[in-house]
């Protein structure tokens, strides 16, 4: 659990927002020369925050877990992806992975995934076993959504999915790469901080502790808490950096294409039968000349400019909302829903916790009928210090 330092003396520091993960990713080269020194660091780092970039970096990495909502939403949406993968492919499972897929054997024999860790799904499984394993995989997806024993569930989901994707050597594409890599990063974050059964359990435990009924001493004392904080925060940086790399590469690659340059690129996949769950809808989207150019150029622009847009809080909002809109479009019009969901899950890492809190408060006020008892947040990171809980 992050160090709790919500004293009033820290409030001024909050007027300077902590650096973004993006900024950290590029500035890290310098940051490494100052190793953290354990639990005493946060306080000193906070003083340094006003002095130099190293101090700010240290404080960003050590003062508390960043992107608590972002990593929690990532965990929830990745779990939903796992469920969606099973639900949408279960009817075609035999041909893709199962008893009717023996024609793919030449690829399986020299697969790069031939490694004992990734053998959960097997080419010789009888159909009932494939069904059972797929259902188990979906159950793990549900457990991720619920946030139950998040770490172990996430890493097992990753192992199962990697094995499943390897079993269909011609059934896997970039969507699987995105999902697989994000699962691994998600495992390194503490994705259970918000909206999870784990956080509920910890809160109840903490309440019992504070009312004097001794439960066993807090688990996880084997590892000093700051290690959990720094691993979580570095994984947040890794997710942020990976997202930037994905968009930069995708944007730069498109910028070389004549069809993207002349602004008509988006028209073509809309008339391709394998990307058209709803052909009439697709044709409608590209019926207007201006629309075709706006979407084509807009897609390249937002991908290439994504890292720059992150530098300012308003353009960052534009970038995140724009990306979510783009992926919604990819999911609806091109039928690449699971890919879209995995990418949206990762985009959300760029929404700051305070913003998420404002949004969720707004939602609660708007539809406040189900206002349950005021909950005490069980974690209070420095991000929360700006509006400290009355309790």
Partner 1 sequence: MGAVLALVLIWHGLATVIYLSGSTRLANIAGPGTINAYMTPIFKQYWSVFAPDPIHEDTELEIRATVDGSSTEWFNVSKADVNRSILHHPVPSRLYLTNFQLTSHYQVSASLLPEDLQQVPGKSYVGQDWQQQLKQDLAANGSTADAEAVAQFIKDETAMTSMASSVARARWGDGVTRVQIRIATIPVKPYPVRKDPNYQVKTTYFDAGWRQIVKVPDIDLAAIASMYGKKAVTANAGQ
Near partner 1 by CB under 8 A: residue from 268, 284, 311, 325? 268
Residue closer to partner 1 by CB (options 31, 377) is: 31
Of these, 11, 17, 271, 325, which contacts partner 1 (CB under 8 A)? 271
Window of 71-79, 85-93, 321-329, 375-383 that interacts with partner 1 by CB under 8 A? 85-93
Q: Given the rule CB under 8 A, which of 65-73, 94-102, 144-152, 367-375 is the region that contacts partner 1?
A: 94-102
Is 98 a binding residue for partner 1 by CB under 8 A? The answer is: yes
Identify which of residues 112 and 217 has a Cβ nearer to partner 1 in the complex: 112
Residue of 51, 219, 258, 365 that binds partner 1 (CB under 8 A): 258
100 or 152, CB closer to partner 1? 100
Please identify which residue in 155, 231, 301, 324 interacts with partner 1, judged by CB under 8 A.
231
Judge whether 172 and 192 are in contact, CB under 8 Å.
no
Work out whether 249 is an interface residue with partner 1 (CB under 8 A). Answer: yes
Determine which residue in the list 18, 21, 79, 168 makes contact with partner 1, applying CB under 8 A.
168
362 forms part of the interface with partner 1 (CB under 8 A): no
Q: Is 22 in the site for partner 1 (CB under 8 A)?
A: no
Report the nearest approach of partner 1 to the CB of residue 157 (Å): 15
Q: Please, which residue, 43 or 332, has the CB nearer to partner 1?
A: 332
Rounded to a whole number of angstroms, the minimum distance from the CB of residue 241 to partner 1 is 5
CB of 145 to partner 1, least distance (A): 17
Give residues 34-73 in contact with partner 1 (rule: CB under 8 A): 34-36, 61-62
> How many residues in the shown chain lie near partner 1 by CB under 8 A?
86
Q: Does 151 bind partner 1 (CB under 8 A)?
A: no
Q: With helix as H, strand as E and coil as C, how does the chain read?
A: CCCCCCCHHHHHHHHCCCCCHHHHHHHHHHHCCCCCCCCCHHHHHHHHHCCCHHHHHHHHHHCCCCCHHHHHHHHHHHHHHHHHHHHHHHHHHHHHCCCCCHHHHHHHHCCCCCCHHHCCCCCCCCHHHHHHHHHHHHHHHHHHHHCCCHHHHHHHHHHHHHHHHHHCCCCCCHHHHHHHHHHHHHHHCCCCCCCCHHHHHHHHHHHHHHCCCCCCCCCCCCCCHHHHHHHHHHHHHHHHHHHHHHHHHHHHHHHCCHHHHCCCCCHHHHCCHHHCCCHHHHHHHCCCHHHHHHHHHHHHHHHHHHHHHCCCHHHHHHHHHHHHHHHHHHHHHCCCHHHHHHHHHHHHHHCCHHHHHHHHHHHHHHCHHHCCCCCCCCCCCHHHHHCCCCC
6 binds partner 1 (CB under 8 A): no
Q: Which 300-359 positions form the footprint of partner 1 (CB under 8 A)?
A: 332, 335, 337-338
């Amino acid at each position: 659990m992050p160090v709790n330092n919500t004293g009033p003396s820290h409030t001024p520091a909050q007027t300077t927002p902590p650096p973004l993960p993006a900024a950290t990713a590029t500035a890290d080269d310098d940051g490494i020369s100052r190793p953290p020194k354990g639990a005493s660091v946060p306080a000193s780092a906070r003083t340094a925050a006003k002095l130099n970039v190293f101090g700010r970096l240290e404080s960003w990495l050590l003062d508390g877990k960043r992107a608590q909502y972002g990593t929690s939403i990532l965990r929830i949406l990745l779990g939903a992806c796992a469920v969606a993968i099973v639900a949408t492919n279960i009817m075609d499972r035999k041909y893709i992975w199962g008893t009717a897929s023996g024609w793919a054997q030449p690829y399986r024999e020299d697969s790069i995934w031939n490694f004992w860790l990734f053998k959960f799904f097997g080419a010789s499984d009888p159909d009932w076993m494939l069904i059972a394993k797929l259902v188990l995989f979906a159950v793990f997806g549900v457990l991720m959504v619920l946030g139950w024993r998040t770490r172990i569930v996430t890493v097992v989901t990753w192992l199962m999915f990697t094995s499943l994707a390897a079993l269909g050597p011609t059934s896997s594409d970039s969507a699987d790469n995105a999902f697989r890599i994000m699962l691994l990063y998600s495992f390194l974050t503490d994705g259970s901080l918000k909206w999870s059964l784990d956080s509920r359990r910890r809160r109840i435990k903490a309440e019992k502790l504070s009312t004097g009924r001794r439960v066993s001493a807090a688990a996880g004392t084997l590892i000093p808490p700051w290690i959990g904080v720094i691993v979580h925060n570095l994984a947040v940086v890794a997710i942020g950096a990976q997202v930037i790399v994905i968009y930069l590469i995708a944007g730069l690659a498109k910028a070389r294409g004549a069809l993207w340059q002349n602004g008509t690129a988006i028209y073509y996949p809309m008339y391709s039968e394998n990307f058209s769950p709803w052909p009439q809808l697709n044709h409608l989207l590209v019926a207007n000349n201006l629309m075709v150019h706006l979407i084509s150029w807009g897609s390249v622009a937002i991908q290439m400019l994504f890292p720059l847009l992150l530098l300012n809080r308003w353009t960052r909002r534009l970038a995140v909302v724009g990306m979510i809109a783009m992926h919604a479009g990819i999911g609806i019009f091109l039928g690449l829903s699971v890919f879209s969901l995995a990418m949206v899950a990762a985009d959300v890492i760029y929404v700051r916790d305070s913003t998420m809190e404002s949004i969720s408060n707004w939602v609660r006020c708007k539809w406040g009928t189900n206002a349950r008892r005021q909950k005490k947040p069980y974690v209070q990171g420095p991000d929360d210090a700006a509006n400290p809980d009355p309790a």
